Chain A
Amino acid sequence: MRGERAGARVTPARFAYRGSRVLLGTAVFWNRPRFGGYGLAKPPRGTSPLMDCREFRSKHVAYVDDLLAAVDMEGMRAHLGRCPACARQDTAVRRSLMLVHNLPPIEPSPEFMARLTARLAEIGPPPRYAARSTLFFSMPAMGTFAAVAAGIGVVAVLSFRTTHYAAPTQIANAPVAVTVDSLPDIMAFANSAPDVTPLANAAYVAAVPTGIPIWPAVLMAGEAPVQFASMELQLSGGR
């Protein structure tokens, strides 16, 4: 070491001194500041401490178009300050885009509109629909709506009629009741296929306490074997 004679014996003190300097150097190395120099520059808050070139290139499109968040923009600028290669590429891209953006547009030829009009005249009038509002396309089809409304109406009417029918207040049509006295020849009538059942009044009588509607009871009475009616009439002697 400096100031020591060559070949001097390493004493414990000398060894400790050397060791402490090695340790100090190592500590300084590991704790060195990484951003821009010793002690002052700090990384932008929220960004990765070291944006690498790969990340820079992946975000470069949005960076040129000014579409990055402010935090990312700062990170990109910081990387440009550190990386000469990426800075050169960024400058080259921006300069070339300036040329493109200043390119004068080309205009159609003077006869463009005349040619187009002639071609459209050959085609004829275009198909057109009446102007419809966009709201129309967002509502359910009118037909479906009408069908659903009609269905609901039918169900409502049927339910009303069914509940009304379950507790009739009066008989709409009185059953056709044929009495023995009103017919000249009840036997002939009884033996023939009855158009008017003689049990209609019986059906009516049966229907009232049971709550069965009149017309099913009449049907059931009508389908009852005729011989019972004949027997009944015979027993009563036609009176």
Chain B
Amino acid sequence: MAEVAIKRAPLAGATRQRLQALDDASIVGAFLAGEERAFTELVERYQTRLLNFIYRTIGDRERAEDLVQEVFIRVYRHLHRFDRTKKFSTWVYTIASNLAKNELRNRSRNPLVLFQTIKANWDDEERPLQFEDTTARPDDMFRRRHLRALVEETVARLPEHHRQVFVLRELEGKSYEEIAEITDCNLGTVKSRLNRARNAFASIIEPKID
């Protein structure tokens, strides 16, 4: 049994390395050809990025995880219909963007959900930072936590349309063209919203960090 386990481990490692070396289009092709582990590789590539994107957009971490799961389920169901001439990341971010928008729309209709979200975020601030540097001085840790909370609170105060473009550009590093495709806007609108989002963000946070 142990020998079988040892024999399987190198094969799994080799397969994983092979999949990691492929680009997104090749991974999709491998999955459609029957390679089950290719989908796991896709999940590992995008789970953190999508979680950050949705979390910064809607402000609720637990709900953001649920939505990320929903994104991957939709990808799993509809990957055979994906046009592989297009960019996979743009497609998956578009799904995430639509789910986040729907979540915000539903929240605005339900005050109880909104209250629970705010309360959950208060509790969330008490949690330690992940990958926190435990050797840092306490005042440095406090300052970092304070800055992080400040930035997240400021991002959450941006208007929804501006916030989404801001997060996609500043946190996800998407180009203007990709943002235009994800948010279904033209390039000029993206630049205009980004400009306003940056100015609004700076005007809110700048007095607090001086």
A residues sitting closer than 8 Å to B (CB atoms) are 57, 60-62, 64, 89, 92-93, 95-97, 99-101, 103-109, 112-113, 115-116, 119-120, 123, 126-131, 134, 137
Contacts and interface: CB of A to CB of B under 8 A. Distances in A.
Q: Is the interface of A mostly helix, strand, loop or mixed?
A: helix
Contact of B32 (A61, A103, A131): A131
B73 interface: yes
Interface in B132-169: 147-148, 150-152, 155
Nearest to B155: A100
A64 B195 CA distance: 10
Contacts of A96: 198, 201-202, 205-206, 209
A104 B148 contact: yes
A71 B155 CA distance: 33
A100 B85 contact: no
B18 interface: no
Interface string B52-90: 100100000100010011001100110110001100000
B51 to A, nearest CB: 5
Q: Is the interface of B mostly helix, strand, loop or mixed?
A: helix
Nearest to B147: A99
A107 B84 contact: no
A99 B48 contact: no
Nearest to A134: B85
B151 A99 contact: yes
B96 interface: no
A128 B68 CA distance: 22
Contacts of A57: 195
B180 interface: no
Contact of B201 (A100, A123, A126, A137): A100
B47 A112 contact: yes
5 contacts: A89-B199, A95-B202, A96-B209, A100-B201, A103-B151
Given A99-B209, A112-B65, A106 B80 contact: no
Contacts of A100: 151, 155, 170-171, 201
Contacts of A105: 48, 52
Contacts of A119: 69, 73
B202 A92 contact: yes
A129 to B, nearest CB: 5
B114 interface: no
B173 to A, nearest CB: 9
A105 B147 CA distance: 14
B198 A116 contact: no
B206 A129 contact: no
A128 B79 CA distance: 8
Contacts of B73: 116, 119-120, 123
B76 A106 contact: no
A124 B48 CA distance: 25
Contact of B61 (A61, A106, A115): A106
Given A93-B202, A99-B147, A105-B52, A137 B130 contact: no
